[in-house]
Every structure is written in structure tokens, then in C-alpha cells.
Amino acid sequence: MTEPAPYDFADLALIKRIIPHRYPFLLIDKVRDIVPNKGAVGIKNVTANEPHFQGHFPDEPVMPGVTIVEAMAQTSAVVVGISTNSIDKELGTYFMAIDKCKFRRKVVPGDVLEMHVNVLRGGGKVWKFEGRATVNGELAAQAEFTAMMDLKG
């Protein structure tokens, strides 16, 4: 494996250089406290303008649980991209498993969602993570998830 790039923070521009997601499915705004091969904290500023709130639910907007898990996965993909020095390369990221997933509180417009992710196993094509999503320090969701990382070309 190549030496990790020296980033401990990823703004939106750097995130887009690492993962392929774009609006309306780019679910993280920045990633901080990045420690290659260990973990990071992703930040999502939840706003009422997001398309999923039109149908989930119009009179009581709630961020879908699957998008919270996806935000944790996108945070993890940034960690992998930095850990493997895959910036500006095509890094395909594919879910393989989601385990021990639980939702503890609603996430609504105005919340700042923090995704705390830790690498449980990594270094090859298959990586496993533990994630916790919080709002103001209160647990909103948690899961373990496994993904295959495929560097194209």
C-alpha cells in the first residue's frame, strides 16, 4: 500500500476528488479528524432543501435512516481514499454488508449530523467499519458495515 496523503481535514472540493457521489446523493459536507487507516468524523448540515424531505415526510421531515448509514459510508470512503492515496483516482466503493444497525433519534432539518467512523479492518479491497452518527452528542444511529473498494484503471 502506498503512503497515505497528509490530510487531516477534507473540505467539499477534496471530498469530490475522492468519492464519485454528487447531488442529490452526496451526503457529507466535510470530514475532519482524519487519521489514515483509523477513522474520521464526517459532517452533514441537514437542510430542509434536501430532496428526500419532499416525501419523507412532507409534514414532518425526517432524514431517512438509510441516508444516515450512507453518510457514514461516504465518510469511511474518504478515509479509505486518503489512506490509500487514491485522490483523483476512480475509487469504486460498494456496500457488502450492514450489521448491528440501530436508529436512536430522528434527524431533522437544522441538525448538524456527525458521523464518527472507525476502521475495524482495512488495507486490502475489503474494509470493515464501525460508525456512530450523532446530533449534539446524542446518538442518532449506529452500524457496522463492510465495503469493497475497487480502484479503477
Q: Which helix (H) or strand (E) holds 9?
A: strand 9-10
Please indicate, yes or no, if residue 104 is contained in any of the structural domains. yes
Residue 97 lies inside a defined structural domain of this protein: yes
Domain count, the chain: 1
Question: What does DSSP assign to residue 151?
Answer: E
- CA 111 to CA 135: how far, in whole Å? 7
The pLDDT assigned to 6 comes to: 77
Kindly tell me if the per-residue pLDDT of 36 is higher than 80: yes
Q: Do the beta carbons of residue 49 and residue 24 sit within 8 Å?
A: no
116-137 per-position pLDDT tens digit? 999 999 988 999 999 999 999 9
Residue 1 located in a structural domain? no
Domain boundaries, position 81 = 9-151
List, by residue number, the catalytic residues.
Answer: 56
Burial group, residue 41, by CB count within 10 angstroms (0-12, 13-18, 19+)? middle
Domain-embedded: residue 105? yes
Q: Which of 12-16, 66-70, 87-91 has the lowest mean pLDDT?
A: 87-91
Establish if 91 belongs to a structural domain: yes
**Residue 3 counted as domain residue:** no
pLDDT digits (tens, 9 = 90+) for 82-108: 999 999 999 888 999 999 999 999 999
CATH number, domain at 69? 3.10.129.10
Handedness of CA 114, 119, 125, 126 (dihedral sign): negative
34 within domain boundaries: yes
Domain membership of residue 4 (yes or no) is no
